[in-house]
Structure 1
Amino acid sequence: MSFRLAVCAEMVYGGLPLIERARRIHDQGFEVEVWDTRGQDIKALAATGARFSSMSGYFGGSLIDPDGADSVLSSAEALIPTAHELGIERMVVHPAELGEGGHAVRPLQRSTGEMWLTGLRTLENLAVLGGKHGVTFALENLNTILDHAGIPLARAKDTLALVSAVDHPNVKLMLDLYHAQIGEGNLIELVRAAMPWIGEIQVADVPGRCEPGTGEINYQGVAKALAEAGYSGVIGMEAYASGGQGLDAGDAALTAFRRAFEV
């Protein structure tokens, strides 16, 4: 296997506590992604023995808003001890603040030059913070058609432009191919163009946001292209199990995910 495979514990095995989800994912040979770690028993999560690949890297503010950028930086710094305790490599940030259900806290339908410049400066500051503490901040692209309306600079081509402009080892892309398929398509050319700046890749099929093989994306073709390009990093399944939240359905989704990325 040329890739490290991870599974988002927030989206499978919904009948189990998060700690038990992490343990079950780990027991099947996958790394674990988590979202908001606040309020979780971090010591118990660490004690599962799981290898954690990524977590949410902020809990307030907006990367592209001058009035909210400081909150991104301060909340990111506050989460770094958690990342260290879990051995997490990447802390995920978004172009603008997400609220309940992933909706934009302040929906905006157009981007401005000030947003671009503020986003660039905030990412540069995150790069300094990441270099100081030994973590990488990963900017995730989002789709604004179905899941995240009102988030400016959310397309993969926008996040790639920002991260490549910063061009720092502690700022990378969280390249989400589910979001990119909905908003842009042309996935193989996208991963080829983004390769120097990818920190992690996330996958789910379209439509439905379930495991690979349930929709229109040829993930075996994507896997082959990634292998040919020399990618050997993390691919995370940020997807629901198509069979529901039960244990058997989750296990089947993880098996399908593994098969899709066997190259």
Structure 2
Amino acid sequence: MERRSFLHQSTLAGISALTFGGATALAGSAKGTDNTAAAGKTFNLDYAPHQGMFKNSGGEDFLDQIRYMHDQGFRSIEDNGMLGRDTAQQNKIGELLAKLGMRMGVFVIDGGENWKVSLTTGKKEHLDVFLKACERSVELAKRVNAKWATVVPGFFERNLPIGIQTGNVIDALRAGSEILEKGGLTMVLEPLSDTPELFLRTSEQTYEICRAVNSPSCKILYDIYHMQKNEGNLITMIDRCWSEIAYIQIGDNPGRKEPGTGEINYRNVFKHLHNKGYKGVMGMEHGNAKPGKDGEQALIKAYRDADNFL
């Protein structure tokens, strides 16, 4: 074969291979980010939406929304206000989750004082409200097979030294843990960034309190959004507090919307959690960046993209 002919045929073959390979790569990329193709496929981590997140796609009824979540590959839910639902609705939710093979994430142990001066004061009236809410939460947990419930100790008590406030919180949480242990329920303490008036603000402070309470029913809820705002250094602090972290929540910053809408490298954070062997729920405690069905589809795609770390 003449050299000119050989080069010509080789070039055509190379172009053909590049064209085919490029088309294949594009097809694979499209498949990896297309919600329709991925619908029903479970994620590498167990992300948990909440009521209203898919109301345009799933319907107004929460039970229908749960079915829609399952169809999109989600295998857990959260419901902060579950304790306030009537017993019949709680039972319906629990039965549907069991039927679909889904987990119940956190609800809030809220006796009505989560945003007031409360457990920091050491006052009996606040402690009684908290312990009663713990008892109600154990009963609720049986109906929906819940394993975790959020606790917020409340505001600072400015008239008391910080050490005394901390001691008061530890005493209250020990009493609550005694109730929750019997019901197999774990309170997860959530440090928050909503206002500087809140007593619990950082993961290391929460770690210290959990170690002092010394109960399997008192652990950390590490909300990535709040911790990015209050302390940053996410992966390092997750590692340092790992023994006490039982639950994780998600939200990008700024904006508190889905991954990819802010500054947090969620794919790296998710990969780190996966590599550490985290098998717990990942609560999607954030809003949707865009409205309507298009916004809901964009949210699902954002999770598919961030979850694509293997």
Global fold match (TM > 0.5): yes
Distance 1:32 1:109 in 2: 40
Unpaired segments ≥5 residues, structure 1: 97-103
Distance 1:93 1:12 in 2: 26
Say if 1:12 and 1:182 are closer, same or farther in 2 by CA, change over 3 A: farther
Residue in 1 that maps onto 2:201: 154
* 2:95–2:144 Cα contact (<8 Å) kept: no
Residue in 1 that maps onto 2:73: 29
Say if 1:260 and 1:150 are closer, same or farther in 2 by CA, change over 3 A: same
Deviations 1:66-115 (A, max 9, x none): 1212211111211221121011110110121xxxxxxx6x8859962221
Distance 1:111 1:230 in 2: 39
Task: State the Cα distance separating 1:199 from its structure 2 match.
Answer: 0.9
Residue in 1 that maps onto 2:5: none
* 1:11–1:238 Cα contact (<8 Å) kept: no
Deviations 1:13-38 (A, max 9, x none): 37724333333223323210001121
* 2:152–2:200 Cα contact (<8 Å) kept: no
Residue in 1 that maps onto 2:110: 58
Higher helix share: 2
Distance 1:183 1:166 in 2: 23
Residue in 1 that maps onto 2:255: 208
**Partner SS, residue 258 of structure 2:** coil
* Aligned residue runs from structure 1 range 128-167, under 5 A: 128-143=178-193, 147-167=194-214
Residue in 1 that maps onto 2:232: 185
**Partner SS, residue 254 of structure 1:** helix
* Aligned residue runs from structure 1 range 1-263, under 5 A: 2-9=44-51, 11=53, 13=55, 16-30=60-74, 31-37=76-82, 38-40=84-86, 41-49=89-97, 50-61=102-113, 62-67=118-123, 68-96=126-154, 112-143=162-193, 147-244=194-291, 246-263=292-309
Unpaired segments ≥5 residues, structure 2: 1-42
CA RMSD of aligned residues (A): 2.4
Deviations 1:171-194 (A, max 9, x none): 111110100011111001111111
Amino acid at match of 1:59: G
Distance 1:65 1:262 in 2: 46
Distance 1:162 1:88 in 2: 23
TM-score (norm 2): 0.74
Distance 1:195 1:46 in 2: 30
Distance 1:235 1:108 in 2: 34
Q: Identity rate of aligned residues, in percent? A: 30
Structure with greater contact order relative to length (CA < 8 Å, sep ≥ 6): 1
Equivalenced residues, count: 251
Task: State the Cα distance separating 1:222 from its structure 2 match.
Answer: 1.0
TM-score (norm 1): 0.86
